[in-house]
Chains A and B, each alone.
Chain A
Amino acid sequence: MAYSDYSDGADEIPDFHDEGEFDDYLNDDEYELMNEVFPALKTQLQDYQGWDNLSLKLALFDNNFDLEATLMELKKTLKKKKKAPKKSIAAANGTGNVAQKLANMSISEQRPNNGLADWLDEEESEEGGDDNGADDDDKTVQRYYKTTVPTKPKKPQDISAFVESSLPHLSFVVLGHVDAGKSTLMGRLLYDLKIVNQSQLRKLQKESETMGKSSFKFAWIMDQTHEERERGVTVSICTSHFSTQRASFTIVDAPGHRDFVPNAIMGISQADMAILCVDCSANAFESGFDLDGQTKEHMLLASSFGIHNLIIAMNKMDNVDWSQQRFEEIKSKLLPYLVDIGFCEDNISWVPISGFSGEGVYKIGYTDEVKKWYSGPNLMSTLENTALKISKESEEISKEDAFLFSVLEIIPLKKTSNELALISGKLESGSIQPGESLTIYPSEQSCIVDKIQVGSQQGQSTNHEETDVAIKGDFVTLKLRKAYPEDIQNGDLAASVDYPSIHSAQCFVLELTTFEMNRPLLPGTPFILFIGVKEQPARIKRLISLIDKDNNTIKKKVRHLGSKQRALVEIELIEVKRWIPLLTASENDRLGRAVLRKDGRTIAAGKISEISQ
């Protein structure tokens, strides 16, 4: 039932007027096959309406007499329109007409779903001109085939054995104020790991020198776009994978500039831990640490999104002659703040480094001068140690958990293959193997995982390895069958088909903690809401009550919410053309968290406590 087998020929089936005519068209083998499968299909479909014998037979024929595939397809179409004999014919014309079906669907999708992934037709992304937030009443909900019955993996693997045999995997995000040297540090790491070779670096050096920015050569390994290089700032997050003998890593380089905090949030939400890059040069730390610097905001975000482990990379130590005094001075200022916002002192490691010269990063060791006062491991060893620690902590849990996957990107396929989709993202919990089924929310479409690819995805080319199993924390690309990629977006959630409780909603209750704000939160106050990698304009619908740190109600009648308060608050999305999939914090610690930003500042963070239906 692989589609490629027959999709080319499907167009050539002539039109049939009645059942007999079609029976004549079949050859003897096909006729016998048909009579074998047809009665079973008919009984299966008794609860559905809007089909006739001919349409069923055509559908069977289109699916190479595969009973299950036909059922799946027919149920998909028959269920959604209750009184639509016409639709069943469309369905019966089957795969030959899937393209047509897709077209219909995307037309009906355009109203509810403004942010249609535009890979299907690259020219088509200009839609939505007639839509705005105001006309949210007339939304139609597209229904897809959804099942709750899991399918068996093709080659079943023992998860615990796999977990034990593989290296611990850890993803980390690099944070810090703008120009603290985050990208340079990452470039240095990749160069020391020999992922970037000498000649590539030499090329970058030449390029950066011609633009008069020779100190950016390492940063340009990560910052590749024209805009980033010309302005010398990172804009988007950049992920990269590497492994050492002790662990494998995914690194996410985040932008430090305040305008790109939304991108940094995207990076934080993907990471298991964070490296905070601090510029130790004279005055540089201070300017990044004051009220408007991003050092504090990034740490606040990391803490709000449930990151517990921190490595502080005390960067540019060469600028201050590796002064222990400076090291301790910064530490004494930073540590109280970090503890104050919820980090545990034991989970913070401090490593002096120089990203540009490489000392303390990986290959280049400390000078004797430094060894006098710093005897700890270098950055790489610290990372490995943390990876082992975190993977030990999560090992027990990950075996039993149900599969949960957050979609980071829908990768456009060159040809519009029917019902095929490539989605890449991160496994938030559980495991997945080829052959198993999953359901994508909010579109609630059930798909079958065909292949799992790991490692770097390189545009259209396919130089990635396939794997038989992916587990919690892995970044993978899933090839799905029976999917409608035009209704999958970044930030959607995929879960095992029997996952009990993913709700799509536009309203939910947050246990909110407000930070320093210069305007209060009122019913109706608009802001930008971040949940995982989702970014959405939203507003306060209702202030429910003020609460203390143990969530006991202090005051019922709340007129407005000021700085540093805790409250139960109901939030609603402003552009409600498409609902978002939500999990409460008790269901998933990471995905059940949200952050509110307004006027370029992070104003509050909270945990989702209840999802309004």
Chain B
Amino acid sequence: MKVINLKKDSFNKGGAVITLLPEDKEDLFTIYQIVDKDDELIFKKKFTSKLDEAGKKKSTDLVKLKIKVISEDFDMKDEYLKYKGITVTDESGSSNVDIPVGKYLSFTLDYAYPFTIIKQNFNKFMQKLLNEACNIEYKSDTAAVVLQEGIAHVCLVTASSTILKQKIEYSMPKKKRTTDVMKFDEKTEKFYKSIYNAMKKDLNFEKLKTIILCSPGFYAKILMDKILQYAEEEHNKKILDNKEMFFIAHCSTGYLQGINEVLKNPLYTSKLQDTKYSKEIIVMDEFLLHLNKDDDKAWYGENEVVKAADYGAINYLLLTDKILHSDNIAQREKYLQLMDSVESNGGKTLVLSTLHSLGEELDQLTGIACILKYPLPDLDEDGEE
């Protein structure tokens, strides 16, 4: 993402005017987290207007529009972010020329033109999101193929999401003493071939840093051999030149859970580069470890976490993006203050994306959790009364 201009409002403390150019889907997610209802957007859009009354003559111009956001529509998988809004008056007079106020318009983000967000409540968390989005190091994507007999998932693991690109499912013939082995082999071959084709279709080999192939047993190893074999056959340079980005790992299942299993396995963490997500997985695992030990150092739920924060005892605060982007503004403010208080006491905050399975897990777990610096027993007790 390119931040072209960021001007904080001198009168209103939380106000800011930000001009941005998103560059990839990660940026869309960042913007999705920043823009709230009632924010104003200034953007350029091709706009068709009728020149004569019959509507026969039309002209399509690139016009500058300003809208106030009413609703949003976001899909990470399709790289699609659209805002619906209503045109408002622009004091500067440069946008909404010839367009009446109160007209409903939509704005689908693209990577071609910069646009401007006018916010009344720009906060530290959003600032941090912007900074992260501009940092190229966060941008490296990892692909993962997790498989078992007859089932494979081709996924993209980015900083903020796990995107299932394709699920391949073959019903393998059941083995019997009299099974035709040729038939079984044929089907197996087809299975690997369709994984290969899915990878070719859905992964951009030049942009990826690592492709993790993981499975129970030896399926990942066979897949690796097959990929190279198929690539040789069709002289696929994109794959053959990037052989070293493949990484074979072991996990216990061919379902999506297998990917997290690999990312948190200490055997692999040193070899896989430090992604934001793998860090989150490790912290979350630490949280679970404390819970398992029952050492009163891990808590979840709003009341408990707020109490722990009052003691200044939080080492890690874990939140989901969902609760920070909730429509309840008072609620949101409360969490932001919580983050501030934790950080001022030397703790760290992690915002987990609910587009990852981990964030989804936390979301089920009230969306807020913490790891403490020292044990605090019975945080949940008087909450019951």
Contacts and interface: CB of A to CB of B under 8 A. Distances in A.
A601 B178 CA distance: 32
A410 interface: yes
B238 interface: no
Interface stretch (B14-22, B28-36, B359-367): B359-367
Contacts of B380: 557, 559
A231 interface: yes
Interface in A99-121: 114-119
B9 interface: no
A507 B190 CA distance: 34
A600 B364 contact: no
A576 B261 CA distance: 22
A526 interface: yes
B194 interface: yes
Contacts of B257: 526-528, 537, 598
A224 B384 CA distance: 61
Interface in B156-201: 163-181, 183-185, 188, 190, 194, 197-198
A528 B216 contact: no
Task: Tell me which of A116, A128, A517 has the highest count of chain B C-beta atoms within 10 A of its own C-beta.
Answer: A128
A259 B149 contact: no
A155 to B, nearest CB: 29
B255 interface: yes
Given A225-B181, A518-B292, A523-B365, A132 B77 contact: yes
Given A132-B77, A238-B175, A524 B184 contact: no
B167 A599 contact: no
Interface in B62-107: 77
B384 A557 contact: yes
Contacts of B278: none
Given A225-B175, A526-B357, A526-B361, A459 B288 contact: no
Nearest to A556: B384
A519 B287 CA distance: 9
A133 interface: yes
Given A490-B171, A537-B255, A537-B257, A600 B178 contact: no
Contacts, number: 167
B253 A129 contact: no
B217 A259 contact: yes
B177 to A, nearest CB: 4
B327 interface: no
A224 B222 contact: no
| Residues of B in contact with A, size category | 35 or more
Given A117-B171, A126-B168, A519-B288, A240 B198 contact: no
Interface string B363-378: 1110000000000000
Interface in A201-223: 221-222
A408 B255 CA distance: 20
Interface in B194-251: 194, 197-198, 202, 216-218, 222, 250-251
Point out which of B171, B183, B357 has the most chain A C-beta atoms below 10 A from its C-beta: B171
A520 B294 CA distance: 10
A262 B217 CA distance: 12
Given A235-B149, A238-B177, A410-B171, A599 B256 contact: no
B198 A190 contact: no
B217 A257 contact: yes
B164 A260 contact: no
B283 interface: no
Question: Which label, helix, strand, loop or mixed, suits the secondary structure of the B interface?
Answer: mixed
Interface in A385-434: 408-410, 424
B290 to A, nearest CB: 10
A131 B154 CA distance: 12
Contacts of B149: 235-236, 263
A166 to B, nearest CB: 22
A597 interface: yes
B177 A522 contact: no
B291 interface: yes
Interface in B23-43: none
B218 A227 contact: yes
B177 A129 contact: no
A528 B364 contact: no
B285 interface: yes
A458 interface: yes
Nearest to B165: A129
Nearest to B191: A125
A526 B356 CA distance: 13
A115 B261 CA distance: 24
Nearest to B193: A126
Contact of B176 (A238, A489, A563): A238
A140 interface: no
A259 B252 contact: yes
Interface string A172-199: 0000000000000000001000010000
A238 B184 CA distance: 13
A260 B178 contact: no
Interface string B282-300: 0001001101101000001
Contacts of B285: 519
Given A226-B185, A522-B300, A524-B364, 10 more contacts: A129-B166, A224-B175, A238-B177, A260-B217, A409-B171, A424-B174, A522-B361, A563-B292, A597-B252, A600-B251
Interface of B: 77, 148-149, 163-181, 183-185, 188, 190, 194, 197-198, 202, 216-218, 222, 250-253, 255-257, 261, 285, 288-289, 291-292, 294, 300, 357, 360-365, 380, 384
16 contacts: A118-B170, A126-B197, A129-B165, A134-B77, A224-B179, A235-B149, A237-B175, A259-B217, A424-B174, A458-B179, A519-B289, A522-B361, A537-B256, A559-B300, A563-B292, A600-B253
